[in-house]
Structure 1
Amino acid sequence: MSVVDSPATRRPNDPGRSQQHRAPGHAKPKRRSRESGRTPWLLALPALVLIAGLLGYPLVRMVVLSFQNMRLRELLSGRTPPWVGFDQYTKVLGDGVFWSVVGRTVAFTFVSVLISVLFGLGIALLMRRVSRGVRLFMVVAMMFVWALPQLVAAQIFRWMTDSDFGVVNYLIDKLPGVDYQNHSWFVNPWQGWSVITTLVVWAGIPFLAITLNAGLTQVPKELLEAATVDGATPWQALRNIILPILKPLIMIVTTLSVIWNFGLFTQAWVLRDGHPEPQFQTLATYSYTQAFGQSRYSLGSAIAVITVLLMLGVMIFYIRQMFRIGEVD
């Protein structure tokens, strides 16, 4: 063997040698990265297929139906309804009743979400100041309220506010100078909506309080103790320390509450015995009444599509907040 070809004199940066030793090492990470990138999609594929089947197909059918004129004769005969283009949307958007329903739904959503979030935050702050046993009792009690089906809760509130046998009228009637015997809460729209709002807030507080209480556990105690030593009041500590830390979580639970309350149906429907008056109509009940109460299925579909579009902005905002929190984490 010559001196030039000996292993001792061979340069370490020999191209043939470097490629021979580095090529296998570079191929494995790429293969692993591809496999790791496919794994989440493969795991999520069954859920995506199920969601597409349960939600995607009905949504597409609803959109298609909104461009047709489905009547009772087409429904019974099975014939394809005639296409009318944007006629259903023109009728809806040009109807003053529809816009009054939209305004009523937006006003109810704003008031109910505001009250729910404030009460939920207040209860969450209270839970951090009570003993562990009391906090556990509060969590269990709220979990029972949260687990109660909406239909059952609405039936309970309907019985409580009944004009003849309601316990609410009975208790208020015991106050001196007050006559609430056989009082109907739904003659006056303001009183009727106060009952509906109370029911929705009562059912929504457990989720908000428990979630915000979990968020409060992430607030560093050292910051609160330092603020107390510096002479900060509880209100200043809440405004300058607690709320900034809880802001992302508050935005998420508020957005979820908006989505849930905007689609109000069960509470208003049950409290009005399946026949909500015009002053108690929401977008969900109005769409259902038009479609199945008056057999105007395409018009009801158009109202439902518009409702989804109105909620699309809120859902996009919610998804953006989720991604922002994921980036921070």
Structure 2
Amino acid sequence: MPVISERTAPRTPRHRPAPGPPAGPPERRRPRPSHSLWPYALIAPAIAGMLYLLLYPLLRAVLISLQDFRLRQLISGDAEFVGLRNYRTLLSDPRFWEVTGRTFVFMTVNVVLIMVISTLVALMTERLTKAGRTVVLGALVLAWAMPVVAATTVFQWLFHSEFGIVNQSLTSLGFDSFERYPWFADGTAAFVILVVLIVWQSVPFAAITLYSALTTVPTELYESARLDGASGARIFRSVTFPMLRPIFLLVCSLEVIWTFKAFVQIWVMTRGGPGDATTILPVYAVQTALSSQRYDLGSAASMLTVVLMSGVLVLYFRQMLRQEDESR
């Protein structure tokens, strides 16, 4: 039998899939976060405590300022609602307007001195060596950490008429008129001492904040300005201050609040005296409430202080936002 050789057609090769990773368990989908009230329940006690400590006293002071609230009403609790009568009484009092003007003068002098001295200290600290910066920043932190009452007491000792080191130092330098000089009996001298105290307490925070902002300014900008022949004052006006303007305005607004509501230093040192030489609005409110138990007038004075301070800050923030829009 003839052998027939069968010719097979060539087979086309099939592409095999590349070997993949070994099959494992099916991937589990992550559960979507459920909108639960549990996170809000966790922060609810903190929010409730904050509202109770901040909002309740404010609302209570507003209510008292609208009532006839004296010592008898404080004990019995049956205060009569009188509307805006307490505010009309304050606004018609010449002493209130005198104290208001003194408050703005006190705030302006303190804020200007604080910002100027803090800026100079921050610029100086930036140019020191590492050891010098450590010493200056450490001294600023120690001064900042000193309690307000303790610092005020130290200033009282420094300017004591008989045992104060200031009088002894001035007398030893030949100024015999300062022997046993009563600093706190002179209204202008007491006002100046309080300004020095508040500036000394406020400069550390402002200087450290401005120094921290200075460290973020690129050194290339300074080098370019020096190559163009700019002086130090020109570099500060054209390079440093524009870069620090937001932080500078923030620190300035905080210092406005700090000096506008300064109370502890004045109350501990002079209680607003001699006369009314160091009386500003917070001190005036406490004096009004405690001297004749007119808690309604004291609360009204406190509310007017809040309104005036808020008005100053609103004008200040509007100017700040306007400058930011112009710089864009």
Question: TM bucket by the smaller chain?
Answer: 0.7 to 0.9
What does the per-residue CA deviation read over 1:267-310, in whole Å, with 9 as the maximum and x for residues that have no partner? 11111168663222111111001112220000000000001111
Q: Is the 8 A contact 1:255 1:314 kept in 2?
A: no
In 1, the alpha carbon distance for the partners of 2:184 and 2:221 equals: 49
Give, in angstroms, the shift of residue 186 of structure 1: 2.5
For structure 2, list consecutive stretches of 5 or more residues without a partner in the other structure.
1-29
What does the per-residue CA deviation read over 1:193-227, in whole Å, with 9 as the maximum and x for residues that have no partner? 11000000000000010000000011110000111
Matched, 1:55 2:45: no
Aligned to 2:167: 169
Aligned to 1:195: 193
Give, in angstroms, the shift of residue 47 of structure 1: 3.8
Give, in angstroms, the shift of residue 174 of structure 1: 1.5
In 2, the alpha carbon distance for the partners of 1:291 and 1:50 equals: 27
In 2, the alpha carbon distance for the partners of 1:301 and 1:101 equals: 16
Quick one: structure 1 residues 42 and 130, their matched pair in 2 at CA, closer, same or farther if it must change by over 3 Å? farther
Q: Summarize the alignment of residues 268-279 of structure 1 with structure 2, pairs less than 5 Å apart.
A: 268-272=266-270, 277-279=275-277
In 1, the alpha carbon distance for the partners of 2:91 and 2:139 equals: 44
Q: Summarize the alignment of residues 53-202 of structure 1 with structure 2, pairs less than 5 Å apart.
A: 53-76=52-75, 78-202=76-200
Identity of aligned residues (%): 36
Quick one: structure 1 residues 82 and 119, their matched pair in 2 at CA, closer, same or farther if it must change by over 3 Å? same
Aligned AA for 1:67? L
Q: Is the 8 A contact 2:281 2:301 kept in 1?
A: yes
SS at match of 2:67: coil
If you compute each CA radius of gyration, which structure gives the higher value, 1 or 2? 2
Aligned to 2:6: none
Normalised TM-score (structure 1): 0.82
Q: Is the 8 A contact 2:117 2:203 kept in 1?
A: yes
What does the per-residue CA deviation read over 1:105-150, in whole Å, with 9 as the maximum and x for residues that have no partner? 1100000010001000000000011111110111111111111111
CA RMSD of aligned residues (A): 2.7
Give, in angstroms, the shift of residue 237 of structure 1: 0.4
- Tell me whether 43-52 or 239-248 shows the greater mean CA deviation: 43-52
Aligned AA for 2:281? L
For structure 1, list consecutive stretches of 5 or more residues without a partner in the other structure.
1-27
SS at match of 2:277: helix
Give, in angstroms, the shift of residue 315 of structure 1: 4.5
Q: May I ask how many residue pairs the two structures share in their alignment?
A: 293
Aligned AA for 1:74? Q
Give, in angstroms, the shift of residue 50 of structure 1: 2.1
In 2, the alpha carbon distance for the partners of 1:222 and 1:42 equals: 50
Aligned AA for 1:187? A
In 1, the alpha carbon distance for the partners of 2:238 and 2:109 equals: 25
Quick one: structure 1 residues 43 and 236, their matched pair in 2 at CA, closer, same or farther if it must change by over 3 Å? farther
Higher helix content, 1 or 2:
1
Quick one: structure 1 residues 273 and 166, their matched pair in 2 at CA, closer, same or farther if it must change by over 3 Å? farther
Matched, 1:246 2:244: yes
Aligned AA for 1:108? F
Give, in angstroms, the shift of residue 316 of structure 1: 4.4
Aligned to 1:301: 299
Alignment match of 2:235 (pick from 232, 237, 241)? 237
Aligned AA for 2:167? N
Quick one: structure 1 residues 108 and 245, their matched pair in 2 at CA, closer, same or farther if it must change by over 3 Å? same
Q: Is the 8 A contact 1:151 1:267 kept in 2?
A: yes
Give, in angstroms, the shift of residue 72 of structure 1: 1.2
Alignment match of 1:280 (pick from 278, 281, 287)? 278
Q: Is the 8 A contact 1:252 1:318 kept in 2?
A: no
In 2, the alpha carbon distance for the partners of 1:116 and 1:274 equals: 22
Quick one: structure 1 residues 291 and 178, their matched pair in 2 at CA, closer, same or farther if it must change by over 3 Å? same
In 1, the alpha carbon distance for the partners of 2:287 and 2:52 equals: 26
Q: Is the 8 A contact 2:273 2:279 kept in 1?
A: no
Q: Is the 8 A contact 2:272 2:278 kept in 1?
A: no
Q: Is the 8 A contact 1:269 1:275 kept in 2?
A: no
Aligned AA for 2:152? A
SS at match of 1:280: coil
Q: Is the 8 A contact 2:186 2:274 kept in 1?
A: no
